[in-house]
Copies of this chain bind each other. A is one copy, B any other.
Amino acid sequence: MNYSYVSHLYCPKCSQTYSTKEEHHLCPCGSPLLVAYDLDRLSRNFTAEDLVKRSPDLWRYHELLPVQQKENVISLGEGMTPLLSMNTLGQDMKIPNLLMKDEGIIPTGAFKARGASVGVSKAKELGIKEIAMPTNGNAGAAWSLYAARAKLNSTIVMPVDAPRITRNECALAGAHLFLVNGLISDAGKIIAQAVQEKGLYDVSTLKEPYRIEGKKTMGLEIAEQLDWQLPDVILYPTGGGVGLIGIYKALRELIELGWISSDQKLPRLVAVQSEGCAPIVEAWKQGLNESSFWENSETIAFGINVPKAIGDFLVLNALYETDGCAIAVDDASLLKEQERIAQLEGTFVCPEGAASFLAARRLKEENWIKEDEQVVVLNTGAGIKYPDTVDCEVPILEPGDSL
């Protein structure tokens, strides 16, 4: 038994292949690279049953991850997040079989930990010394903390408007942290230049091939938690879209492995965006294979404020291939949904997660989601990372007062 069944990297655009033994970023044709596994050999050596005794983190799927030596694994116990029944909210939106995959219950409080754990581990395996990335906050926090654990240096640039707590996380981890008076796309340009000048290892979204493998484990877990019976619909708040691409990749690998039967229909994948930044929605509406840069983007759901995603064509392909869709929601309504979720279900989701629940509600109203369907919503982070989205006035008492 190998620890990993990784075989090679390949370009989904031009089909060129590359080795996983050396550093690779984008394909010369401009496309992100994807990781391939020897699934045929794995399917003969390993079954889903073998997973049962493994510890509840994403490394339980190590055969399907790219790290070849176990000692290179950098883990903070990320993964196997709860898949919760959301009955009360589901009844409210007439989707009784509504589930939440809660990615707030993870190191650093956001799903970004998955990509960071796998990406940093592989960077360590490749002998990298310093990583660099632009971020809307949570990814930078996760990568700089995991990098610290791996004894790698990190250089992070984030917008001044990114959630404040993510600054603290980067700074505390000892990252070289910079803010930029602009968007993640401005941060990206600064990082690109630094990468070129200083020879840093670029871990920008999809500019290294391994982050997506970490995100993929959300799909593996949803399948395992539902006993290898896929749901009808999965909604995912989409900025860079790596999670959606990863979930789609995971489900295809599971079918190839035979862990889910090939006569199961894939879930319809839904890319959820904000009306203030909806390039994927716009491209999907027009049936295009790529999105256009969204000018002057703005949304309170900061994690999905990505005006142009480098993997947009992969996201759109996953939507088309699964008969999914893309939908945008407005900030005011998603904040109301966030409150409703807390009051009905006792969980404080992040704005991006709230956007996805709101999208489910809207799609049910439009009858795109049917009442008897099983629907999984990804909540990509803990609401506690976004204190400013909640406004509350609380009466102040003096000692000895009574209620």
Q: Which A residues have a C-beta under 8 Å from some C-beta of B?
A: 52-53, 56-57, 74-77, 80-84, 88, 102, 104-109, 145-151, 155, 157, 160, 164-165, 167-169, 171-174, 176-182, 186, 189-190, 193-194, 197-198, 338-339, 342-348, 382-385, 387, 390, 392, 394-403
Contact = CB atoms under 8 A, between A and B. Distances in A.
A148 B396 contact: no
Nearest to A150: B346
13 contacts: A52-B52, A76-B102, A77-B82, A88-B151, A168-B348, A171-B394, A172-B392, A173-B343, A180-B401, A190-B397, A190-B400, A194-B403, A382-B382
A384 to B, nearest CB: 5
A105 to B, nearest CB: 6
Interface pairs A-B: 10 shortest CB-CB: A77-B82, A149-B346, A56-B56, A171-B392, A186-B399, A168-B390, A172-B342, A148-B346, A145-B346, A182-B399
B346 A173 contact: yes
A139 B174 CA distance: 31
Contact of A347 (B88, B145, B147, B392): B145
B160 A396 contact: yes
Contacts of A398: 180-182
Contacts of A345: 148-149
Given A82-B76, A390-B168, A395-B178, A344 B148 contact: yes
Given A82-B77, A394-B177, A398-B182, A149 B347 contact: yes
B77 A57 contact: no
Contacts of A392: 167-168, 171-172, 177
Contacts of A108: 348, 384
A146 B169 CA distance: 28
B384 A165 contact: yes
A120 to B, nearest CB: 9
Contacts of A394: 167, 171, 177-179
A176 to B, nearest CB: 8
Contacts of A403: 155, 157, 176, 178, 190, 193-194, 198
Nearest to A117: B346
A403 B169 CA distance: 20
A76 B101 CA distance: 11
A11 B18 CA distance: 68
